[in-house]
């Protein structure tokens, strides 16, 4: 990943990362390995298969060590805060459709209709996370980097359309069909330097 220096209005300089596509990474790979006979389609296929296997492993409780002190990717189990309720939009929209099918007017503004918003009530929720603390990541200017797991790429994708659900959808589907899956997620990631505490079920898989 390359870096570009950008000047702000106050005269300060910040370093913003420049992201690369798979084609860009392949071009860099060819530059460093000019004698390679690996074609682009094979390079892309290897990355795709590895990413899928790594994502599945993380969903089922393993921790992906990115290496080179870039950090770790894992699933975090987080206690839900009830002082600010979060709407379950998928369930809410389904409820709204049911009301309309029954001839009931859903509430919109001050029309006096039936309330159709449904809120999450689970004591916890799980999400993808990039662990940077405790010395896991030593990349400069970490604040300009983001980890964004893939999401549903099609509104028409069914609950079992794994190829289109994305990693967010896969996590939700895995928890839905495995009620006890959340028990293997760490409430708080273990510090990298901790010697006495090691999660029993959270294994690390190394990039090769």
Pick from 141, 132, 131: nearest CA to 3: 141
Which candidate, 126, 142, 136, 128, places its Cα nearest to that of 191? 136
Q: Which helix (H) or strand (E) holds 35?
A: none
Predicted TM-score (pTM) of the model is: 0.68
* DSSP type of residue 137: B
Local structure of residue 195 (DSSP, 8 states): S
**pLDDT single digits (tens) 39-94:** 999 999 999 999 999 999 999 999 998 888 888 999 999 888 888 888 888 889 99
User: What is the spatial distance between Cα 205 and Cα 56, in angstroms, rounded to a whole number?
Assistant: 12
The answer to whether the CB of 118 falls within 8 A of the CB of 87 is yes
Summarize pLDDT for 135-145 with one digit per residue, the tens. 788 888 777 78
Would you say 169 and 151 are in contact if contact means Cβ atoms under 8 Å apart?
yes
């Amino acid at each position: 990943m390359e870096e570009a220096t950008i000047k702000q209005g106050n005269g300060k300089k910040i370093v913003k990362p420049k992201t690369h596509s798979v084609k860009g990474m392949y071009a860099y790979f060819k530059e460093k390995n000019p004698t390679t006979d690996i074609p682009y389609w094979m390079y892309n296929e290897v990355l795709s298969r590895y990413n899928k296997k790594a994502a599945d492993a993380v969903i089922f409780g393993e921790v992906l060590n990115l290496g080179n002190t870039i950090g770790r990717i894992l699933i975090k189990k987080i206690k839900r805060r009830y002082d600010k309720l979060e709407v379950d939009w998928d369930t809410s929209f389904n409820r709204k459709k049911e009301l309309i099918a029954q001839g009931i007017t859903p509430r919109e503004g001050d029309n006096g209709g039936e309330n159709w918003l449904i809120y999450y009530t689970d004591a916890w929720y799980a999400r993808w996370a990039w662990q940077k603390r405790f010395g896991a990541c030593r990349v400069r200017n970490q604040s300009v980097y983001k980890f964004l797991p893939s999401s549903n790429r099609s509104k028409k994708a069914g609950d079992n359309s794994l190829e289109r659900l994305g990693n967010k959808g896969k996590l939700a589907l895995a928890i839905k069909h495995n009620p006890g899956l959340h028990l293997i997620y760490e409430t708080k990631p273990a510090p990298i330097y901790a010697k006495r505490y090691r999660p029993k079920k959270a294994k690390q898989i190394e990039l090769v």
